[in-house]
């Protein structure tokens, strides 16, 4: 009876996917959260096997979930691609994102083949594409891993993801899981936990709910930026003054109850060395985070990044421009 219920659930999910896909519209995106992305698909033998609980080919589930996502991505000039590991392959090279092109790319992937080698070098796959592609992708960048989390050969997936992020600090890994074992899910969860803004969902959730698919696209691809122009810092300082505190108090009231993660970005003017300003920008971002934590915003919902003197928005040749460049910005949705 249990088996029948699960099979019925999957059938209904896939039917819902077929109907929803025809009617789906791109989400209404305020702005692009990222500049580039890659769908990294597990194409190993284990993905061609039936899901132990849902009794359906795991890659069938994965491809249906990808269809739900692709139908909702707005065409905002992203650079995107589709790649696989186990075996390593390029399905769609990096190019300006086009919904039909990506739909055709997913359609090329077969969901059945004779499995002679069931080894899954997931870590090696992440490491390969990090070296070949991710280290040079326009930032901010996102990788969407679609996998069952199985890894029985090669390097550690978590270590590979950490190395990829070290090579590209503005890279975020997101997960669409078709795991049917606790071990596989744990691998995927560990990668998703590397950044608070990472999105971690199951393929079944995306297939079953258009709302879940909408939310996934909004969280990964869409965002807005709040520029805290009134939160300025004195020269060579990361201290929050009274004027800045008043602005942050108002910001805290806006953020309370939000489920999405935020990233606090610190910046400096161009006086001093690049190395010193990098550290100063990090201290400024950390000071804003510490203040917001005191106002009740969960620490684990906030990430901090320092950009030093690399991203001036105002003219550093004037005193006023340098003052305005000593700033903090927040990325959020």
| In a shared domain, residues 80 and 170 | yes
Q: What's the pLDDT at 73?
A: 95
Task: Flag the least confident range among 18-22, 132-136, 292-296, 325-329.
Answer: 18-22
Does residue 145 have a pLDDT over 90?
Answer: yes
pTM: 0.67
Q: What's the pLDDT at 220?
A: 93
Q: What is the CATH classification number for the domain harbouring 290?
A: 3.30.1330.60
| In a shared domain, residues 146 and 22 | yes
Q: How confident is the model at residue 223 (pLDDT cuts 50, 70, 90)?
A: confident
Mark which of 174, 194, 221 sits at the end of a domain.
221
| In a shared domain, residues 234 and 264 | yes
Q: What's the pLDDT at 174?
A: 97
Helix axes 58-70, 99-108, angle to 10 degrees: 170
197 vs 19, more confident: 197
Domain of 270, in residue numbers: 224-332
| In a shared domain, residues 28 and 127 | yes
| In a shared domain, residues 70 and 95 | yes
Scanning the structure block, which residue is given the tokens 């997101």? 174
Q: What's the pLDDT at 228?
A: 56
| In a shared domain, residues 55 and 159 | yes
Copy the structure tokens of residue 69: 């996502």
Provide the mean pLDDT of the chain.
Answer: 86
Provide the percentage of residues in the chain whose pLDDT is more than 70.
86
- Reported as a single tens digit per residue, the pLDDT across 191-204 is 999 988 899 999 99
331 vs 6, more confident: 331
Residues near 252 by Cβ (< 8 Å), separated by ≥ 6? 292, 295, 296, 297
Q: What's the pLDDT at 204?
A: 94
Q: What's the pLDDT at 1?
A: 40
Q: What's the pLDDT at 144?
A: 98
When divided into structural domains, the chain yields a total of: 2
| In a shared domain, residues 207 and 248 | no
| In a shared domain, residues 302 and 258 | yes
Q: How confident is the model at residue 156 (pLDDT cuts 50, 70, 90)?
A: very high
Mark which of 192, 221, 250 sits at the end of a domain.
221
Of 92, 86, 93, 115, nearest in space to 104 by CA: 92
- Please compute the mean of the pLDDT values over residues 161-185 and round it to a whole number: 94
Task: Flag the least confident range among 33-47, 85-99, 226-240.
Answer: 226-240
| In a shared domain, residues 41 and 77 | yes
Q: How confident is the model at residue 253 (pLDDT cuts 50, 70, 90)?
A: confident
Residues counted in the chain: 333
| In a shared domain, residues 62 and 193 | yes
| In a shared domain, residues 217 and 120 | yes
Residues near 131 by Cβ (< 8 Å), separated by ≥ 6? none
Q: What's the pLDDT at 2?
A: 42
Most confident of 23-27, 100-104, 225-229: 100-104
* Alpha carbons 60 and 289: distance in angstroms, whole number: 42
Q: What's the pLDDT at 3?
A: 43
Q: What is the CATH classification number for the domain harbouring 139?
A: 3.40.50.410
| In a shared domain, residues 308 and 228 | yes
Residues near 302 by Cβ (< 8 Å), separated by ≥ 6? 196, 261, 262, 263, 264, 289, 292, 293
Does residue 260 have a pLDDT over 90?
Answer: no
- Say which DSSP state 46 is in: G
Mark which of 202, 221, 240 sits at the end of a domain.
221
Q: What's the pLDDT at 314?
A: 86
């Amino acid at each position: 009876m249990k088996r029948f219920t699960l099979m019925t659930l999957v059938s209904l999910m896939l039917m819902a996917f077929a109907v929803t896909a025809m009617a789906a519209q791109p989400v209404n995106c305020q702005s692009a959260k990222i500049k580039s992305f890659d769908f990294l698909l597990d194409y190993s033998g284990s993905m061609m096997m039936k899901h132990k609980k849902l009794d359906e080919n795991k890659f069938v589930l994965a491809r249906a979930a990808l269809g739900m996502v692709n139908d909702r991505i707005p065409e905002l000039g992203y650079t995107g691609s589709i790649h696989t590991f186990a075996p390593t392959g390029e399905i769609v090279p990096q190019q300006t994102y086009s919904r039909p092109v990506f739909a055709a790319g997913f359609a090329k992937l077969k969901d059945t083949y004779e499995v002679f080698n069931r080894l899954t070098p997931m870590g090696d796959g992440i490491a390969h594409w990090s070296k070949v592609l991710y280290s040079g992708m326009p930032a901010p960048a996102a990788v969407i891993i679609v996998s069952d989390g199985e890894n029985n050969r090669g390097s550690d997936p978590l270590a590979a993801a950490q190395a990829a992020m070290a090579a590209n600090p503005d890279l975020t890994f997101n997960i669409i899981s078709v795991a049917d074992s606790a071990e596989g899910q744990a691998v995927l969860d560990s990668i998703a936990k590397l950044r608070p803004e990472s999105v971690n969902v199951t393929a079944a959730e995306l297939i079953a709910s258009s709302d879940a698919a909408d939310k996934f696209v909004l969280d990964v691809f869409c965002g807005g930026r709040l520029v805290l122009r009134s939160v300025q810092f004195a020269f060579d300082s990361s201290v929050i003054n009274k004027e800045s505190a008043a602005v942050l108090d108002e910001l805290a009231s806006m953020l309370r109850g939000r489920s999405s993660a935020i990233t606090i970005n610190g910046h400096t003017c161009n006086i001093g060395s690049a190395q010193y300003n990098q550290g100063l920008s990090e201290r400024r971002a950390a000071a804003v985070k510490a203040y917001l934590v005191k106002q009740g915003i969960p620490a684990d919902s906030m990430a901090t990044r320092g950009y030093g003197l690399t991203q001036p928005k105002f003219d550093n040749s004037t005193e006023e421009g340098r003052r305005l460049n000593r700033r903090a910005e927040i990325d959020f949705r």
